[in-house]
Chains A and B, each alone.
Chain A
Amino acid sequence: QKEVEQNSGPLSVPEGAIASLNCTYSDRVSQSFFWYRQYSGKSPELIMSIYSNGDKEDGRFTAQLNKASQYVSLLIRDSQPSDSATYLCAVNMRTGKLIFGQGTTLQVKP
């Protein structure tokens, strides 16, 4: 089992729809969770961090964490073509290492 797993996609949604990105992790002790966005040919940039169970909202983005299920998700409301990118889930493991998932490619079609 990979330490952090994501569906590679591509996930295709129409403009204005809600995009839902999912991530599971293996280490129950993990405390810190992050979503990074990476445009093609660019470096990753942090868009959301979440540390406790529940939802955290920032503009059109909502991160959801369920530690019991070892599951973290990212919702993007009113998706825009500019949201088309690869979204990387990252988890801070008990080992102290920040491990990234493979990433999910999102395509928002006008």
Chain B
Amino acid sequence: DAGVIQSPRHEVTEMGQEVTLRCKPISGHDYLFWYRQTMMRGLELLIYFNNNVPIDDSGMPEDRFSAKMPNASFSTLKIQPSEPRDSAVYFCASTIRGLSEKLFFGSGTQLSVL
């Protein structure tokens, strides 16, 4: 299995621009998570899905952030408009059978908003 695939690996954009991060979970996994990691705040849970349905989005910082999972093999995290404080590494992770199972992380997207 190729593991969790994220794209792009690096994204540099200017403040105010729209940013879309993409994730392909491991086939057969029914949970998908989006995390953000910064030095100051560590690894923060933004949102997670179960069977393509958003379960908890309370970690989404504000309305500028949105996430979708149109099918079991694809999810997006969109930031519109982007701000410098959004600069971070964004990880997607998937697992099977709930939160007591191992999370498999993607390689992450390093986002820099100038």
Contact = CB atoms under 8 A, between A and B. Distances in A.
Interface of A: 31-32, 36, 42-46, 49, 51, 88, 92, 95-103
B51 to A, nearest CB: 14
Contact of A99 (B45, B91, B102): B45
Given A43-B108, A92-B100, 5 more contacts: A31-B100, A44-B103, A46-B103, A49-B100, A103-B42
Contact of A98 (B42, B99, B106): B99
B56 interface: yes
A32 B55 contact: no
B56 A98 contact: no
Interface string B71-105: 00000000000000000000100000001101101
Give chain B's interface residue range (CB within 8 Å of chain A).
10 to 19
Nearest to B55: A96
Nearest to A92: B99
A77 B99 CA distance: 28
A31 B99 CA distance: 10
Contacts of B49: none
B107 interface: yes
A96 B99 contact: yes
A100 B45 CA distance: 8
26 contacts: A32-B99, A36-B103, A42-B107, A43-B108, A44-B103, A45-B105, A46-B102, A49-B100, A49-B102, A51-B100, A88-B43, A92-B100, A95-B56, A96-B56, A96-B99, A97-B45, A97-B99, A98-B33, A98-B45, A98-B99, A98-B103, A100-B35, A100-B42, A100-B43, A100-B44, A103-B42
